[in-house]
């Protein structure tokens, strides 16, 4: 089993104290898993665009992109995604990035599989910082959709799964 990393912007000593004192059954269950690692990752407050990143969801978009660019892995949105099948088969197809369409043809950023330091994730990280305008999808879904279109013809760079693969109820 691979390690499950939970990236949060809470420092290690706070996580440790919380895990020692919690009575929340879900947190207790997660803490019992042998290969779960909590990683502190500061969420940005202001990108190069100069606007404040007011919403936690937008800060999370930046953290997700940063972690995937540096470490690679599988990102799954915790409130939108339920895994029903083993994802290892997809990871063996040889693509640097595997993403899925949502309804109406846009790419949804709730499931991203990426290898470390690949060109599309590098572009996503750099451009996200520049295009952020406070809009709900501008620096996430819209940007990822455009990058998927631009990187589609580069061999092994990106595989776009049809809407039913990851988001049948989109």
DSSP 27-51: HHHHHHSTTEEEEE-PPPS--TT--
* CA-closest candidate to residue 27, choices 43, 10, 42, 44: 10
The pTM of the whole model exceeds 0.85 = yes
Same-domain status, 34 and 63: no
Q: Say if residue 78 is in the same domain as residue 32.
A: no
Cα-based distances in Å from 123 to 34, 40, 65, 114:
34, 24, 10, 13
Q: Are residues 90 and 37 in the same domain?
A: no
pLDDT at 55: 94
Q: Are residues 106 and 144 in the same domain?
A: yes
Per-residue pLDDT of the chain (170 residues; tens, 9 = 90+): 578 888 888 888 888 888 888 899 988 888 888 888 888 888 899 988 889 999 999 999 999 999 999 999 999 887 777 788 889 899 999 999 999 999 888 999 999 999 999 999 999 999 999 999 999 999 999 999 999 999 999 999 999 999 888 887 76
The reply to whether 2 and 79 lie within a common domain is no
Q: What does the pLDDT read at residue 112?
A: 96
Question: Is 31 in the same domain as 56?
Answer: no
Q: How far apart are CA 32 and CA 19, in angstroms?
A: 10
Indicate if 99 and 27 belong to the same structural domain.
no
Q: Which domain holds residue 100?
A: 45-166
Q: Quick check: helix, strand or coil at residue 162?
A: coil
Residue 65 and residue 30 share a domain? no
DSSP state of 16: H
Q: Residue 53: what pLDDT? A: 94
CATH code, 91? 3.90.550.20
**What beta strand segments (E) does 50-150 contain?**
73-76, 97-101, 107-114
Tell whether 29 and 92 lie within a shared domain.
Answer: no
Q: How many domains does the chain have?
A: 2
Angle CA 162–93–108, to nearest 5:
30
Q: Does one domain contain both 38 and 50? A: no
Same domain, yes or no: 160 and 84:
yes
């Amino acid at each position: 089993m691979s390690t499950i990393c939970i990236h949060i912007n809470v420092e290690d000593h706070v996580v440790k104290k919380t895990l020692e004192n919690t009575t929340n059954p879900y947190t207790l269950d997660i803490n019992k898993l042998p290969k779960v690692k909590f990683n502190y990752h500061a969420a940005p407050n202001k990108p190069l665009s100069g606007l404040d990143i007011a919403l936690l969801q937008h800060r999370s978009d930046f953290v997700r992109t940063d972690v995937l660019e540096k470490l690679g892995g599988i990102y799954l949105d915790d409130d939108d995604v339920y895994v029903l099948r083993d994802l290892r088969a997809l990871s063996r197809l040889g693509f640097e990035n595997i993403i899925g369409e949502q309804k109406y043809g846009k790419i949804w950023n709730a499931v991203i599989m990426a290898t470390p330091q690949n060109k599309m994730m590098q572009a996503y990280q750099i451009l996200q910082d520049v295009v952020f305008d406070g809009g709900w999808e501008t620096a996430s879904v819209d940007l990822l959709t455009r990058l998927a279109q631009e990187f589609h013809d580069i061999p092994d760079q990106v595989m776009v799964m049809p809407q039913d693969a990851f988001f049948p109820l989109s």
